[in-house]
Amino acid sequence: MHPRVGVGVIIESNGKLLLGKRLSKHGVGTWCFPGGHLEFNENIFACAERESFEEAGIEIKNLELNSISNDFFTESNKHYVTVFVKANYFSGSLTSEENKMIEWKWFSLNEIPVPLFLSTEKGLKNYLNKEFYSDK
């Protein structure tokens, strides 16, 4: 087995962050940033734009690298390296990709929901603490 590469997108709008409640078996019921697998030969920013549109129905702007986490999901025997991209909301109406998300909502930093998906928990910690890498 080999680690997979994921891209998580920390989308800001009016002082709030976008989080979705997961429906898929991997992390069901947890809240996460939009994101997904980096495809072969795909640019990280292109992946962030694609996943934001596919998963949440929105377009983003002002993309920049934010942080990286190294995530071991023991319950599902998965290992991901997640690259987080920070972006701003640009346009579109929130929609949920069928069979993947229950809902999307904007949250201020003092109302972040729990439980968070493991990668999102680390990505949010890095975002708030202005750290680039998390292995814990």
| Cα 78 from Cα 71, distance rounded (Å) | 8
Whether pLDDT at 21 is above 90: yes
Would the pLDDT of 136 be above 70? no
0.75 exceeded by pTM: yes
pLDDT score of 126: 94
pLDDT tens digit sequence for 65-87: 999 999 999 888 999 999 999 99
The strand pair at 59-73 and 35-37 is best described as unpaired
Tell me the average pLDDT across 102-126: 96
Amino acid symbol at 8:
G
Q: What is the mean pLDDT of residues 120-126?
A: 96
Q: Which amino acid is at 89?
A: Y
Residue 115, preceding peptide bond in cis (omega within 30° of 0)? yes
Pick the CATH number of 4-134 from 3.90.950.20, 3.10.20.30, 3.90.79.10, 3.40.630.30: 3.90.79.10
Binning pLDDT at 50, 70 and 90, where does residue 99 land?
A: confident
**Banded pLDDT at 96 (limits 50, 70, 90):** confident
The proportion of the chain whose per-residue pLDDT surpasses 70, expressed as a percent, equals: 99
Domain extents in the chain: 4-134
Phi/psi for 53 (5° steps) reads -75, -45
- Confidence tier at 120 by pLDDT (50, 70, 90): very high
